[in-house]
Amino acid sequence: MPAAAQGGPLMTVDQVRSAFNAAGYRVDQANTWDWTRPPVTSFEVHGLNDGRVLMVLVYPSTTAANDALLQAESHEQALNAGQASTGGSGPHLVAGFGESSWSGNVALVETTESQLDRMYQAQMDRDNGILGNEVVLDDPAAPNIAVDLDFLQALQSSAANL
């Protein structure tokens, strides 16, 4: 999927959750974040016993998704001033997750359970005054995980059936 949030139909949270359920993934409950600008609803999808974690962000409209995409691109460009941009993938949206893939009003980002464990441990160490050797939270390029094809196909096949 291209980084642009334009292609793809407008999907509801229930439609997106159902798409991943139908593909056999474990899908967590959705949480709506009204305080963010733009507001977004997110949930996690877990790979088939392989440690993969997909964060799904569903925006209320393609306009809201485009706004979020532009904000994230601006933020990432500011952090990476003078460096080449990523090769066609969207910007990082969530700490600890890789680059984004977009379809209409839906953004996907992927990581692993082990990456999240490292990130949470590093944050706990910092909170407890223990300085670690790893910089996990502040590096927008970590991790550099693209959204896997099977996750993309689950969403695309559902969108094609609307």
Contact 65, 32 (CB under 8 A): no
Q: What is the pLDDT of residue 31?
A: 97
The per-residue pLDDT for range 23-45, each reduced to its tens digit, is 999 999 999 999 999 999 999 99
Q: What is the pLDDT of residue 3?
A: 46
Least confident of 1-10, 16-25, 52-61, 145-154: 1-10
Contact 73, 91 (CB under 8 A): yes
| Entry pTM | 0.82
Q: What is the percentage of the chain residues whose pLDDT exceeds 90? A: 53
Q: What is the percentage of the chain residues whose pLDDT exceeds 70? A: 80
Q: Domain boundaries in the chain?
A: 13-112+142-160
Q: What is the pLDDT of residue 42?
A: 97
CATH architecture of 13-112+142-160: 3-Layer(aba) Sandwich (3.40)
